[in-house]
């Protein structure tokens, strides 16, 4: 059974006209749950989805939990033509057979709202975002896998659904929330990845959309990602657009540089200057690292310094982080003037310690002093 959830249930400031009502939530006959084990990232989706409509005239309305199914769209849908589209990625973790915990849904709601503002899309109210999340996680709770590093990945997308090709922001939009079970983004091995510095391509420029999670940022990265793969790398390192000197981020992940070892290790990460995605995992790791007594500095990191400090042994580890990949060590860098190795080229202890600390919060095995985990319980039958 799925109960109706009013979006206003979690805050007094919610718009009164948004109600998430269950649609026909039974899965159509013939659709069987395929094995999620071994599926690639984002390949096998759960049985349901949430859709919510917005129009300039009526605001947010028609919020429905319904079976996962294709959307019907006009070929003139503006989001397809002009890329007026933003998305998020966050996760629900299994706690018990009847309880899950969603990690920082409000932070993701806020980031989606910031992305929406940048792309001239309407903001999804945070209470609606959370109500949609609760409804889908509750309905498809049986899809949440068990085990370390396994979770239900939640993917909201908000796009201009109006059928028009005039160059103006759409007056009709659709918010869709889907989900899929996932394991480690880079496969089961806890290996350090190889990264290639993007030479000919730029991800984001000052004043652009780099801080927004919009589809165009990812499509624009594919060519560089393909070139990196040809060079034998797993991911691209993006440099700043102006001086082509400062390290910004890694593929779809933020980067941390570790100086020193043990309890005296210090972390350095590029600052959020508008061209870097403000990662929720990045933020969580800064907090957890400081709680572990590690110093964290947000300051620009030059590519030359990365190489020189690795050669001198000052940089002991580098790791990337994101919702999908959690914490992933970087073992080798392919630069224009040749490759270099980070530390001993293997996953480092600071990355391991932070990854474990984060996983313990995800799984409810550590205290959650910041209230990051949002519990969702199965409906009583």
Q: Tell which positions 86-105 bind ligand COI, by CB under 6 A.
A: 89
CB of 149 to ligand COI, least distance (A): 14
* Contact status, residue 306 vs residue 241, Cβ threshold 8 Å: no
Which of 84, 323, 329, 355 contacts ligand COI by CB under 6 A?
A: 323
* Contact status, residue 170 vs residue 79, Cβ threshold 8 Å: yes
The smaller minimum CB distance to ligand COI, of residues 46 and 323, is found at 323
CB of 89 to ligand COI, least distance (A): 3
- Structural tokens at position 208: 């652009």
The smaller minimum CB distance to ligand COI, of residues 60 and 129, is found at 129
Q: What is the DSSP letter of 379?
A: P
* Contact status, residue 195 vs residue 330, Cβ threshold 8 Å: yes
CB of 74 to ligand COI, least distance (A): 26
CB of 194 to ligand COI, least distance (A): 18
Stretch that binds ligand COI, among 95-103, 221-229, 316-324, 337-345 (CB under 6 A): 316-324
Which runs of consecutive H residues, i.e. helices, occur in the chain? 78-82, 105-118, 126-139, 215-219, 222-230, 280-291, 303-311, 349-362
CB of 124 to ligand COI, least distance (A): 17
Stretch that binds ligand COI, among 232-240, 267-275, 309-317, 318-326 (CB under 6 A): 318-326
Query: Percent helix, strand and coil across the chain, each rounded to 5?
Result: 25, 30, 45
Only one residue has tokens 């903001």, namely 123
Which residues make Cβ contacts (< 8 Å) with residue 371, sequence separation at least 6?
Answer: none
- Structural tokens at position 45: 């989706």
* Distance in angstroms (rounded) separating the CA atoms of residues 47 and 69: 9
Which of 252, 331, 343, 347 contacts ligand COI by CB under 6 A?
A: 252
The smaller minimum CB distance to ligand COI, of residues 265 and 318, is found at 318
The smaller minimum CB distance to ligand COI, of residues 210 and 343, is found at 210
DSSP state letters, 19-51: EEEE---SPPTT--PPP-TTPPTT-S--SEEEE
Answer positive or negative: Cα dihedral of 39, 65, 159, 278.
negative
Q: What is the DSSP letter of 17?
A: T
Q: Tell which positions 275-314 bind ligand COI, by CB under 6 A.
A: none
Q: According to the binding rule CB under 6 A, does residue 183 interact with ligand COI?
A: no
CB of 237 to ligand COI, least distance (A): 15
* Distance in angstroms (rounded) separating the CA atoms of residues 257 and 101: 30
CB of 320 to ligand COI, least distance (A): 10
Only one residue has tokens 């629900």, namely 92
Number of residues that bind ligand COI (CB under 6 A): 5
Q: According to the binding rule CB under 6 A, does residue 324 interact with ligand COI?
A: yes
The smaller minimum CB distance to ligand COI, of residues 89 and 339, is found at 89
Which of 125, 127, 210, 322 contacts ligand COI by CB under 6 A?
A: 322
- Structural tokens at position 163: 């059928």
* Distance in angstroms (rounded) separating the CA atoms of residues 172 and 189: 44
Stretch that binds ligand COI, among 142-150, 234-242, 320-328, 334-342 (CB under 6 A): 320-328
* Distance in angstroms (rounded) separating the CA atoms of residues 87 and 102: 17
Q: Tell which positions 60-89 bind ligand COI, by CB under 6 A.
A: 89
Nearest-CB residue to ligand COI? 89
The smaller minimum CB distance to ligand COI, of residues 86 and 315, is found at 86
- Structural tokens at position 143: 């899809």
Beta partners for 165? none
Q: According to the binding rule CB under 6 A, does residue 122 interact with ligand COI?
A: no
Stretch that binds ligand COI, among 173-181, 261-269, 319-327, 344-352 (CB under 6 A): 319-327
Residues that bind ligand COI (CB under 6 A): 89, 252, 322-324
């Amino acid at each position: 059974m799925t109960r109706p959830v009013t979006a206003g249930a979690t805050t007094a400031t919610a718009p009164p006209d948004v109600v998430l009502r269950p649609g026909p939530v039974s899965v159509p006959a013939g659709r069987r749950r395929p094995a999620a084990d071994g599926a690639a990232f984002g390949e096998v989706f759960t049985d349901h989805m949430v859709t919510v409509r917005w129009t300039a005239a009526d605001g947010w309305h028609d919020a429905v939990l319904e079976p996962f199914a294709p959307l019907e769209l006009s070929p003139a849908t503006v989001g397809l033509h002009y890329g007026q589209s933003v998305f998020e990625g966050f996760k629900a973790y299994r706690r018990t057979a009847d309880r899950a915990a969603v990690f920082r849904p409000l932070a993701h709601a806020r980031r989606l709202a910031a992305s929406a503002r940048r792309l001239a899309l309407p903001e999804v109210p945070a209470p609606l975002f959370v109500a949609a999340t609760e409804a889908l996680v509750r309905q498809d709770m049986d899809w949440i896998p068990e085990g370390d590093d396994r979770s239900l990945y939640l993917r909201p997308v908000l796009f201009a659904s109006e059928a028009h090709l005039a160059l103006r922001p759409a007056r009709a939009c659709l918010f869709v929330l889907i989900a899929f079970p996932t394991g480690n983004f880079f496969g089961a091995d806890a290996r350090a990845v190889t990264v290639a510095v993007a030479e000919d391509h730029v991800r984001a420029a000052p004043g652009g959309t780099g801080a927004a999670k919009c589809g165009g940022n990812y499509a624009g990265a594919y060519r560089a990602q393909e070139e990196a793969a040809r060079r034998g790398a797993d991911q691209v390192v993006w440099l700043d657009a102006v001086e082509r000197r400062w390290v910004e981020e890694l593929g779809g992940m933020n980067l941390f540089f570790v100086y020193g070892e043990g309890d005296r290790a210090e972390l350095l990460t590029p600052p959020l200057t508008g061209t870097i995605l403000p990662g929720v995992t990045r933020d969580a790791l800064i907090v957890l690292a400081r709680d572990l007594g590690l110093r964290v500095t947000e300051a620009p990191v030059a590519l030359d310094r990365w190489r020189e400090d690795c050669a001198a042994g000052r940089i002991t580890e580098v790791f990337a982080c994101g919702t999908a990949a959690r914490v992933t060590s970087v073992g080798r860098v392919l630069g224009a003037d040749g490759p270099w190795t980070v530390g001993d080229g293997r996953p480092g202890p600071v990355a391991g310690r932070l990854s474990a600390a984060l996983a313990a919060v995800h799984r409810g095995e550590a205290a959650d002093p910041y209230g990051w985990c949002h519990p969702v319980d199965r409906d009583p039958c």
